[in-house]
């Protein structure tokens, strides 16, 4: 497997959908190619961060924004600020 093929199989590998033979070849390449290992680690981290960003239940919702702040923003927009 070369680096280009590794990228082609990356999603299937991370999702656990890569057949056993291809998975073994993929893992052998990752074990020998530091740039591809780094790419895989970065890809996994991006997925992790994306999931974390979507799962934060303690973030304020629109109902939590003070009315005075909303009015100040609207006034600034009307004034062209």
CB 43 within 8 A of CB 14: yes
* Residue 63 pLDDT greater than 70, yes or no: no
State how far the Cα of 40 lies from the Cα of 10, in Å rounded to an integer: 7
For the segment 36-62, what is each residue's pLDDT rounded down to a tens digit?
999 999 999 999 888 877 776 666 566
* Residue 8 pLDDT greater than 80, yes or no: yes
Ramachandran area for residue 61 (φ above 0: left; ψ -120 to 50: alpha; else beta): beta
Q: Which domains does the chain have, with CATH numbers?
A: 3-78 (1.10.10)
Work out the average pLDDT over 5-25: 95
State how far the Cα of 39 lies from the Cα of 5, in Å rounded to an integer: 13
Instruction: Return the DSSP state at 81.
Output: -
CB 1 within 8 A of CB 33: no
Q: What is the pTM of this model?
A: 0.64
């Amino acid at each position: 497997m070369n680096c280009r093929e590794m990228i082609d199989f990356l999603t299937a590998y991370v999702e656990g959908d890569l057949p056993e033979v291809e998975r073994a070849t993929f893992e052998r390449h990752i074990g020998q190619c530091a740039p591809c290992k780094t790419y895989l680690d970065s890809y996994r981290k991006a997925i992790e961060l994306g999931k974390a960003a979507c799962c934060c239940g303690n973030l304020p919702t629109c109902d939590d924004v003070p009315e005075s702040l909303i009015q100040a923003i609207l006034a600034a927009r009307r004034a062209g600020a």
